[in-house]
Structure 1
Amino acid sequence: MALDLQKLAISEIRARLLKDDGPVSPQLLNALKRDARRGVRDLYTLAKRRADRAREERARLDAMLNFERVLWKSGVKYIAGVDEVGVGPLAGPVVAAAVVFAPDTSIDGVDDSKRLDPERRRELADRIRDSALGIGIGAATVEEIDRLNVYQAGLLAMRRAVEALPLPPQHVLVDARTIPGVAAPQNPFTKGDGINFSIAAASIVAKTHRDRLMEECDPQYPEYGFARHKGYSTPEHQAAIRRYGPCPLHRVSYPFIRELRGQYSPLFYELQALLARARTAKQLDAVERRFKTCSEELGEHEARKLKLVLSRRWKAL
């Protein structure tokens, strides 16, 4: 945009600003600021906000890329960020992704996939796939989750994702754990999908891939609504399990599945109903005393669940 704004009508300046969604240059900001017209002053305020947001995004990405840049400068070229998704759902596989970028790659908007809405995740997943040197996808099946437990299945999925890369990584950055069976040096980051660029990119790719898998399963099991909740424990999903029982996609080793199917003890459901009806501290205290007197009659998962609900109910009073 020409900096001689005096020759442009306010509507023309506004149209050009709206058309150009890129960063606002300091020269343009200064020109807008110097223009005495009230309408242009309003546009300056909008442009300043956009410039501030762009500067904040650059600072955020710089922080997220800090570890990669240290490795790149040391001569390590192929760095894989690895993350998995799908630990929490009641159904479907655990999916992991490994992503390798060329040195100095940066993509605006990359963040923990949980902080992004579905449309933004899909958009960023496409940009990541276009920019990455290599992407590997790994999964652990429902059968493996039930046999191994979901934590071990997540590690298996991440190892498979690294092995699926088209080029061997020289270094691996992982969200909160170390992957067994991977020869390259590794660095685990607590909540890495929110603080590390490569891990965040992997979380986006893994999430969009798993969502697509669950959507593809929906026509086979339409009564469960997998396309909507992706296997997570929503009220709709819980109601479907109570009504229809589990399908082959459900993780039947999960205690909550047994609870929803009515396979816990009658005492558990009795105490659960009493807890649901308790509205006062006196009523809650009575339920807690009954729970303590008969807790040995409950299974381990039953007692743990009721203790958790009791704690939350006390905090809510």
Structure 2
Amino acid sequence: MKKQSIAEIKGLLNEDNLTSEEWQMLIDDERKGVQTLLKSYHRKKERERLLIKQFEEMQQYENKAYINGADKIAGVDEVGRGPLAGPVVAAAVILPKDFRLIGLNDSKKLKEDVREAYSSYIKAHAVSYHIAFIDNQVIDTVNIYEATKKAMYEALAGLNPSPDHVLVDAVHLPRLNCSQEAIIKGDASSISIAAASVLAKVARDQFMKELHKEYPGYDFDKNMGYGTKAHLEGLNQFGVTPYHRTSFAPIKEEVQKTFGQR
């Protein structure tokens, strides 16, 4: 085989279909550009290997449930406990047994464009999914923990078919009529919970970006309702919106300043 250009070799590596003879020629090629390409290729392959290993490890809870007789396993997770504004959002999802999305992880660990692409993929391939929003008024009435559970129950109730086993991120849901397992850091340990985490995060982020169009002074499209400097400055300048959680400090103090101590 004649010596090929760097561009041709890059194309061959991208195709990933080299013969053993072609590989040996690349290994023996002393050109710096070729060796750089080989190092880059091997780093990429190692990253892929680790992601595959991670995905397989994140199937452990699902595999155990299948062995124990479960057929429709739902993962459920929430986002938005900590923000000063906006809803808490939970998603529930049942994935097929052969579901495969290498790179799936806790939504907070994924870049925004990756999360959005994964959300679309999960929706397209899920057996069933449902997303539930609990608004700030309910949060202020029942407290954020109870609102979180309410969102999870609603997300699970929206699944069709209903699950026969539920994997939950850290929260126990006593009113479920099927078996469940609460997993600490479940969004980084279970593919079903990770998928729910992605769906919930993307849905809530989209809500906050739309809210920013109505209330642009708080940077909701960037902080998603969390108490950043820009958000607090917006509060100081424009006051409390109907979407702020009045039971949360410093919103509570802002309301008290405006309407007097209650």
TM-score higher than 0.5 here? yes
Q: Counterpart of 1:152?
A: 146
Q: Counterpart of 1:221?
A: 215
Q: Counterpart of 1:38?
A: 30
Contact kept, 8 Å, 2:52 with 2:103, in 1: the verdict is no
Q: How many residues align?
A: 255
Which structure has more relative contact order (CA 8 Å, sep 6+)? It is: 2
Matched, 1:192 2:183: no
2:182 partner SS = strand
Could you tell which deviates more after superposition, 231-240 or 37-46?
A: 37-46
Q: Counterpart of 2:233?
A: 239
Question: Which of residues 11, 14, 19 in structure 2 aligns to 1:15?
Answer: 11
1:54 partner SS = helix
Shift in alpha-carbon separation, 1:33–1:52, aligned structure 2, 3 A: farther
Q: Counterpart of 2:97?
A: 103
Contact kept, 8 Å, 1:238 with 1:260, in 2: the verdict is no
Mapped partners of 1:201, 1:30: distance in 2: 42
Contact kept, 8 Å, 1:32 with 1:43, in 2: the verdict is no
Unaligned runs of 5+ in 2: 258-262
What code does the residue aligned with 2:10 have? Answer: R
Matched, 1:58 2:49: no
Deviation for aligned residue 1:192: 0.8
Unaligned runs of 5+ in 1: 264-317
RMSD: 2.2
Could you tell which deviates more after superposition, 99-108 or 83-92?
A: 99-108
Mapped partners of 2:191, 2:221: distance in 1: 28
Q: Counterpart of 2:260?
A: none
Q: Counterpart of 1:310?
A: none
Q: Counterpart of 1:248?
A: 242
Mapped partners of 2:132, 2:202: distance in 1: 13
Deviation for aligned residue 1:17: 2.8
Contact kept, 8 Å, 2:246 with 2:255, in 1: the verdict is no
- Structure having the higher helix fraction is 1
Q: Counterpart of 2:43?
A: 49
Deviation for aligned residue 1:140: 1.2
Deviation for aligned residue 1:50: 1.3
What code does the residue aligned with 1:128 have? Answer: I
State the percentage of identical aligned residues: 36
What code does the residue aligned with 1:38 have? Answer: E
Could you tell which deviates more after superposition, 29-38 or 184-193?
A: 29-38
Mapped partners of 1:37, 1:113: distance in 2: 42
For residues 237-279 of structure 1, give each alpha carbon's deviation from its aligned partner in whole angstroms, at most 9, with x where no partner exists: 011111221110000011221345674xxxxxxxxxxxxxxxx
Shift in alpha-carbon separation, 1:217–1:187, aligned structure 2, 3 A: same
Q: Counterpart of 1:93?
A: 87
Deviation for aligned residue 1:167: 1.1
Deviation for aligned residue 1:155: 0.3
Contact kept, 8 Å, 2:240 with 2:254, in 1: the verdict is no
Q: Counterpart of 1:292?
A: none
Deviation for aligned residue 1:177: 1.0
TM-score (structure 2 length as normaliser): 0.90
Could you tell which deviates more after superposition, 59-68 or 73-82?
A: 73-82
Matched, 1:113 2:104: no
TM-score (structure 1 length as normaliser): 0.75
1:251 partner SS = coil
What code does the residue aligned with 2:247 have? Answer: S
